[in-house]
Structure 1
Amino acid sequence: MHVKVLDDRVVERAKARGLDVLVYAPHFTRLPDARARAREYTDDELLVVPAREVFTGSWRDRRHILVVGLTDPVPDFITLDAALAECDRQDAAVLVPHPGLLNVSLGLDDVVRHRNHIVGVERYNAKCFPWQNAAMGRVVRETSLPAFGSSYAHLRSTVGEAWTAFETAIDDETDLVRALKTAAPRRVMHRSGLSHRLRGAVEFAHLGYENSWGKVDRLLLSGMEPTHPDHIAYRGRFEDSAVY
């Protein structure tokens, strides 16, 4: 339900792990680019669905949402209310990834406040430690929202470590959006054992890079993000809701 990497090796691993669908939501990548890459790696054995993990708020006050089924691009660095309103306008499926993780996602109070916009909450994330996944489970239980699980793979080796098993067939993006929005029956599954825990620990360590040198590289060396609301691609539509 959520991977950040996509290439031949990722596809090979996904198929070897018995996956039918990957939701591909790379950081700071505009929807048309993610859609084109997803199409490139989709075949008769594996469907790749493009999505956006939208970074709402500023770097100091981030609230991430995972959105499947967008038809028009939505930038990062806009208010959460503006992002949710735009997702509603497009009738997309809004999910809460890694609730309560550090300062990068919605907490329980946020989910309760915005639950009318939300169709699912992550119950298990392969990147997270057991106590973090337990906290996510409490958000699911206390809100009674449908759950999902994902590898949240930023590294190829994590693909297939956690997944969501739907009881209905998912043959295209529309099927997945419908399953999410109608709370279709599903099970949250994950591997276990030492290798699973080690892969998760390596993934979590990668989070440290992302929030240190990776952030410096993006902010100071790379110029404007392609998903910044001031980017020409958004034609000024989000200037009133931009936080930068």
Structure 2
Amino acid sequence: MKLKKAELKAFLNEKVELYNRPDFIKSDPIQIPHQFTLKEDIEIAGFLAATIAWGNRKSIINNANKMMNLLDHAPYQFITQHQDSDLERLETFVHRTFNGLDFIQFIKSLQHIYAQHQGLEAVFKAHVEKDSIQRSIHEFKNCFFEIPHLKRTQKHISDPLKNSAAKRINMFLRWMVRADNTGVDFGIWTSISPAVLSCPLDVHSGNVARKLGLLKRKQNDGKALAELDKALRKLDPTDPVKYDFALFGLGVFENF
């Protein structure tokens, strides 16, 4: 399907409007952070939900809700004030290859980030480049694992500088940074510009992007993400990742 740039932009903008609305929340893991009002609760709940966002969406949402139950529905308070004995109950958690030991490691690393680095937003903000947030993700991973940790847990945070598309973290960053006036994305991280965000690239968005001529590369990796970023920034340099709603909606809901 080859559309002229103006036609493609109009087509995608129409799809963004169709899917970027509150109805979208109930079928998406973004519903987890929407349970909270405190900034820190929203970002921690969002980060944990995004971390396990692969596989069946229903099971992602169920398991992310289990995570919130285990954290007493007060993630920030749990992370900053828990005792070691409180962590034992997390051992039972499992979502695919992310298990209770990984969960406990995540709690300890998040505690370290809020105690020593002024929280998640500050860590991501520190390394933003003028047209990309991918180095920030790499540096965030270093920061996350600078305390003693299980080696197995490292695989649950992707590294774009190792050619990963880092889909889940890019999705989380969209949730936090992008202010969309429709009540879907939060826009609570005002120190980072939406212009530097990258589209969460997965099977669905990748296939749709290829059909629309936005992406040529076959693999959904870091190089493909850079190519897609370039194409989406041409369509909207200030808010390129709004097109995630269009690509995802076309792929998942319309089997485009």
TM-score (normalised: structure 2): 0.31
Higher helix share: 2
Relative to its length, the structure with more strand (as a share) is 1
State the TM-score, normalizing by the size of structure 1. 0.33
Compare CA radii of gyration and give the structure with the larger one.
Answer: 2
